[in-house]
Structure 1
């Protein structure tokens, strides 16, 4: 019943509708997700790119501001005069005297003290001649180091590009007693009169101002920002998340730089340490730096995931509401069908009076009308078939009886002829027995007979045969009291008794015996006919009541026995009939199973 409920029309419609809605919504959600996904990446990439461009502008402005400090040296008359004097005297002495050192200190203080005091981002300002450091104003302790400044990158590039500010870093200068990294701006100092060399100014910057600018643009963005120089070295890194990218390690920076070099677009995807990032880059022409922003995909797609969650929840609500409404609609449609199904289930051969009440003029109403018409036609056909079957059974019984009666007559007349030829005095008794036999077999045209009359009929047959086969067999008939009044069909014992004589006793040496017993067993009437003749093989017992054995193999009586069995089953059903049990050299027993019916005689 549960299986039928699962396969019901309403459940199938609900399941199919749910599948259709879910499939449609999945396609829609997937489509919207892909659109929002692409749009979120593009918008975030554009935002990060614009952010980096603005940051670049601020950084350029900051570096130009620092460069302005370096340019001012070119227009300071006292400083220019001092530098010109020192440059000329640079090759004339090995060590500076106390007086010269004091003058250098005073000139440094006069030129750069205000700048250092007013700016926390400048850690030192220095001017180098061709061979030696000329001026120094720094927050770090200066230590004299024998060094050829012309070989240093910042110095050589400044001399090679006298009109440009050179940005280098991160640097750790050996002439300072510190490990702090600084960004260096160097520029050639020239005479304001003729542009001749006056030295190289070096301004060292800490990362305070750069960090301030970066934090202004990246605050609360939940992403990572770094600045790489043209060599792939880390200038600055800033991260607002909890995890560390550790780009201060060379292999990690190289991995990022390789990805930046390969990328054709300003925004691209990068998987780093098992997590996917949206990477945006922009370059600074003045410094050669690359500004890089890395945003975790989960942060970029957070809004998209939230929208997807809302859409999925909406789909779930729509699905539930749709199924509830559809269930209500289908219940109204299926209810008349279930009523029709109930009427159909109640229809049986004994109950053909079920009719559907037609209340609507739709498909269900038309189906109910057709159902009623079908029942009317089945009822008519049933009555017609019953009438035809009764006629058919009557004709079949008559045909079977017509096959048996000539057989009886042939065998009996054969015996009478034999007795007449031998002038046997028992011919009168035999003829009288034959008359009684046929009178009982006719039975006034009735097919039914009492068991008492059937036994009288077979007894007359045995009298006739015992006269013919004198001293060949004896017989015994035993009937349980009360059983003789049972009703059955006529002429069912004589063919089997005949078979006992012809196939059992006649072929046996010496005399034999035929025993007939009748008794009740429950609702059945049992008749057993036994002989102690030669018996039969088991395969003959199995085939004797079927079409598998030829009539001549059983001396003509096979047709009678087969017909007897068919008559019993046609009248009473397949449960009843004959069965054989035989053993070669011992004898044969035939058992009748008939319904026990005390209907009286006719």
Structure 2
């Protein structure tokens, strides 16, 4: 497998795309075409066989409907009340006129009605009443010759059931007539020409569908294949096979076989068999033609898609070869410009980008010396800036040393002034020694303690303060000078203006993965209007005053550093208290979040 992939790597891109087309498009399309063609042909074959079977079933239903019509006529008149009354043996008809009237009555009831229903039917009534007039055509009195006929004997033995017979190209059905007490009065017989059945089957081409009617013994009395009429098919496979549907095999091919026995459908029907034989070749002729058309259409689609693919492939590889040639020229140091690509596709974008890169490389090559000179100038200026920064540190150290000298001289005469200078010196030294904008919470608290110590010397007992913070939170990193300015603001605007002074409370807790800082004083507070004004100025876009660092400065630096992850809020009640709440993400000096 590895050798196969290695062999693919040495192929050029045109061969790779061609192989990709064959594997991902040509081969799947061929397989799909074959599958769709097979499924379509199978579906068409199923439909064709279903239609053929439906046609056979329809022929059977047509014959069944014909037999039902004749059996209904026979049953209808064998139970006709007026016919039974007229044929009754109790009727004497001693008067010839009365006998003739009875004859006309039967004729009006029977013959005229039959002609209206089906003029092809030849109906006969055989009766026992000796007093009833007969015409020897349709109304015949039973004599010895009739009693000895097969028709008479079979009908009487059938005991009320319809008897079917086939004689001389004519089939007939007969049934006994009895009164309401079961006394035998006569026989009704219907004779029908075989042309009735032949008219139903002759409309089919025997080459497409053979319809065969046989009696129970296998004698063919009707078929659309005239060569089979009168033949004995009792030994044929389609006759001896079980009733149902199956495919028969012959020397000439396959045949769809359908058989039905009318007697099993209805006891009143004759024991005839209707056999349908259809060659599968003709049934599936349409599906074969369909398969050929599908294959031709798919082949044409493959040829067209292949032609389009090769045309596009040739254009793509030609442009790629042009790009490779340009790259070789640049690699050899030739930055000559060529005509840009006007196409906006991916290859065109690559070519145009490469051309712009060539121009840039050419410009960079000529600007290289000038850039080196500029870098030297920048290095010299950087050293000068470092020297200036070192010189700037002299002034804070001089200030610290001077304050220390003053403190030592005041220490003997004024201890409070000396302590104030000491705290101021610590405050300035700590502030100036802070590197960067981020310090630890402990450093910020030390600044606040130094500041409060200075303020205690000023306000004496009027200023009280309380700092409540857990030791494990002292390593959290915060922006510098965000608590001290707020403490200064609380003293200046809250405690200083209140008669008798007050207390400043600083509380730091950790809750919900956030650091909560609260600076609260019980000074003069603010009314609702003043509080809304301060909150509005806090979130406005105005700059901080140059006179000092205030609440606005703290809020802006927190928002710039943390964004929406931080929160600062002011709460106050007039003449009672003011509270400033800050919520920050807690992180250590190394920048990692601490829980």
Report the TM-score range of the alignment, normalised by the length of the smaller protein.
Answer: 0.3 to 0.5
After TM superposition, the score normalised by the length of structure 2 is 0.39
Say which one has the larger Rg. 1
Higher RCO by CA contacts (8 Å cutoff, separation 6 or greater): 1
After TM superposition, the score normalised by the length of structure 1 is 0.39
